């Protein structure tokens, strides 16, 4: 096979590779032919010494893909490192901002529930005060009618506060539960991703 047909067949066999890479390969093989001619070899001898074009093309293509797969692995390693850094930043944000805020709001809601239950139990305290006047329970007024009105107001306030809390805090605690579940899943997935 002469130089022109050998190089044309090699170029066709390397057709899937990028043009710059393919041109570099063709220049190398062109130089092989030129060096062989300079030392007195025929083009047919040179082509037979170089080997079968299809085998050479397969080897070159597999080498190219092996080099390219290393670049893909490096990109994947870099993205996993960036993912780990993002995970650390989100974890720090959770610890410094979100978790204390969730804890504070949750404690406020629990305190309001306790206040609502105390207000709801004021009739019990009033009855205990009337039955056992020596107990250290003081409604704040000496007049029985005023004590009844204050107790009724406290009970009504406790009832409406409890109703209000029950209506709106259920959504808050659902949101907290979903947020914490997603945050934990994100942590678990990011740890599994790095392996």
pLDDT, tens digit, 9 for 90 and up, residues 81-124: 777 777 777 777 766 777 788 889 989 999 999 999 999 998 99
Instruction: Identify the domain containing residue 29 by its residue range.
Output: 3-73
- Average pLDDT on 67-87 reads 67
Q: Are residues 51 and 82 in the same domain?
A: no
Specify the pLDDT at position 194. Answer: 44
pLDDT at 127 exceeding the cut of 80: yes
- Give the position of tokens 């978790």: 99
Task: Indicate the average pLDDT of the chain.
Answer: 82
- Which of 51, 73, 95 is the last residue before a domain boundary? 73
Statement to judge: residues 142 and 104 lie in one domain: yes
Same domain, residue pair 83 and 165: yes
Q: How many CB atoms lie within 10 A of CB 181?
A: 10
Number of domains in the chain: 2
Whether 195 has a pLDDT exceeding 50, the answer reads: no
CB 170 within 8 A of CB 158: no
- Shared domain check, 148 and 88: yes
Clarify whether residues 58 and 89 are in a common domain: no
In which band, very low, low, confident or very high, does the pLDDT at 75 lie, cut at 50, 70 and 90? Answer: low
Q: Which of 58, 73, 88 delimits the end of a domain?
A: 73
Helix (H) or strand (E) holding 121: none
Same-domain check for residues 189 and 117:
yes
176 and 85, same domain (yes or no): yes
Tell me the C-alpha to C-alpha distance, in Å, between residue 73 and each of 67, 85, 115.
10, 18, 60
- Do 34 and 59 fall into the same domain? yes
Q: Are residues 108 and 169 in the same domain?
A: yes
**Given 73, 95, 125, which residue is the final one in a domain?**
73
Whether pLDDT at 193 is above 60: no
* pLDDT for res 6: 87
* Cα–Cα distance measured from residue 150 to residue 140, given in angstroms and rounded to the nearest whole number: 9
Whether residue 57 is found in the same domain as residue 86: no
How is 66-100 classified by DSSP, letter by letter?
HHHHHHHHHHHHHHHHHHHHHHHHHHHHIIIIIHH
Q: Would the CA dihedral through 7, 12, 16, 18 be positive or negative?
A: positive
Same domain, 112 and 83: yes
Q: In 95-118, which positions are buried (b, 16+ CB within 10 angstroms) versus exposed (e)?
A: eeeeeeebeeeeeeeeeeeeebee
Does the pTM exceed 0.75? no
Does residue 148 surpass a pLDDT of 50? Answer: yes
Verify that 86 and 144 share a domain, yes or no: yes
């Amino acid at each position: 096979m002469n130089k022109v047909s050998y190089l044309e067949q090699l170029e066709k066999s390397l057709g899937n590779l990028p043009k710059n890479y393919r041109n570099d390969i063709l220049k190398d093989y062109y130089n092989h032919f030129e060096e062989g001619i300079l030392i007195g070899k025929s083009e047919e001898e040179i082509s037979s010494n170089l080997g079968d074009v299809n085998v050479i093309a397969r080897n070159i293509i597999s080498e190219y893909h092996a080099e390219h797969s290393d670049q893909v692995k490096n990109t994947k390693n870099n993205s996993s490192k960036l993912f780990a850094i993002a995970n650390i930043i989100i974890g720090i944000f959770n610890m410094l901002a979100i978790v204390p805020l969730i804890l504070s709001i949750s404690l406020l809601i629990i305190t309001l529930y306790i206040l609502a239950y105390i207000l709801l139990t004021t009739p019990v305290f009033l009855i205990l005060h009337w039955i056992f006047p020596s107990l250290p329970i003081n409604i704040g007024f000496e007049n029985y009618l005023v004590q009844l009105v204050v107790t009724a107001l406290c009970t009504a306030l406790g009832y409406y506060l409890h109703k209000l809390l029950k209506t709106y805090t259920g959504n808050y605690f659902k949101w907290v539960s979903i947020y914490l579940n997603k945050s934990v899943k994100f942590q678990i997935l990011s740890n599994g991703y790095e392996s």
